[in-house]
Amino acid sequence: MMIRKLIIAAVLIPAVWFGSAAMHFPRVFQVMLMIYILLGLGVFLLLDAPSLPRVEGWKAVAALVAFYLVISAAYILGASYLPQYDPAVEMSKIEKI
């Protein structure tokens, strides 16, 4: 079952990449579409994964804090790679009009 999902993702990634390029999507949107495909693949792989053993007590608290730190780092690092809004650039674009 997992192999099938990997094959579907392996077919979707180049198809969406070249399809969006053929429709003249900006590169940032092409990358975003790839990220969505990979996130969807991750979700479906997690749905098929076996359950983890039960964790209780301080191990549960430590696991929760570690999970929070990993997710926070992923959001911060992910956002740092996205294009940032710069008011000066936007104002110069408006002045050119």
What pLDDT, on the 0 to 100 scale, is given for residue 91? 86
State the sign of the Cα–Cα–Cα–Cα dihedral 76, 77, 83, 89: positive
For residues 13 and 37, the answer to whether their CB atoms sit within 8 Å is yes
**CA separation for the pair 43, 41 (Å, rounded):** 5
Q: How far is CA 38 from the centre of its chain?
A: 6
Q: Where are the domains of the chain?
A: 1-50, 54-97
What pLDDT, on the 0 to 100 scale, is given for residue 15? 93
Q: pTM for this structure? A: 0.56
- Each residue of 31-86: pLDDT tens digit? 999 999 999 999 999 998 889 899 899 999 999 999 999 999 999 998 888 777 78
